[in-house]
A = this chain, B = another copy of it.
């Protein structure tokens, strides 16, 4: 099957499916269900607790952590620093998804603090990556820049922070201080359903549980979601049915990668 060749590392996908990593997600309310269903379709196990009194305990038993600033409830705001501290303390890989950074003051300040805590991967759309550098501000969670426009900023951020930067857009760019990768694919339907960016952050966290190279993990996640999107777009050109086929395709690709092992 032709599309299959687009997953950058089938072995990593197979490993996620086989080991079923527990991914603790503190993420946007609006797409929590898609993120959880997407992780399950990929073979990982989601846990979504976000109260300050319990989130750190969940991070403690998780394989990886996703911090998505999304709708950023008061609960999440209180829980994020302690959960990140647990991840740092125990060496648990974690992804920062600075949704809509630059648009509202609280998340912008928080995102900058979190970057100082050393996320393994920072994933955002081009406008969000530019905003982290103070170079742009977006409108809501939408990108108004291309990946190419964010390339220099991503490279600079990778050097100053030590994190791997994953920029998703027309082309997905993954940049560390020493490596680069890209995925040119996907479909224009992905941004027409809510939460596919959040899901990419979550899949990146799932891949970090089995793959020591953050560039490889972020690349696999981008190519897994993008290829699944292409498969779903063949089956439907409308957003409602597309979303359902996207979940199916994440599962189908996982199965194909597993069979190949």
Contacts and interface: CB of A to CB of B under 8 A. Distances in A.
Interface of A: 22, 28-34, 36-37, 40-41, 45-51, 53-54, 57-58, 61-62, 71-75, 77, 100, 103-107, 139-142, 192-195, 236, 238-241, 243-248, 251-252
Given A37-B240, A192-B251, A244-B244, 4 more contacts: A29-B48, A47-B140, A58-B104, A62-B140
Of the candidates A36, A49, A105, A245, the one having the most CB atoms from chain B within 10 angstroms of its own CB is A49
A97 to B, nearest CB: 15
A30 B22 contact: no
14 contacts: A29-B29, A30-B32, A32-B33, A41-B240, A45-B142, A53-B104, A53-B105, A57-B105, A58-B104, A61-B139, A239-B248, A240-B248, A241-B245, A244-B244
A71 B47 CA distance: 8
Nearest to A137: B61
A105 B58 CA distance: 10
B74 A74 contact: yes
Nearest first, the 9 A-B pairs at minimum CB distance are: A240-B247, A238-B248, A47-B140, A36-B194, A240-B244, A54-B104, A57-B104, A240-B248, A30-B32
Nearest to A47: B140
A232 B131 CA distance: 41
Nearest to A53: B106
B36 A33 contact: no
Given A33-B34, A140-B22, A247 B251 contact: no
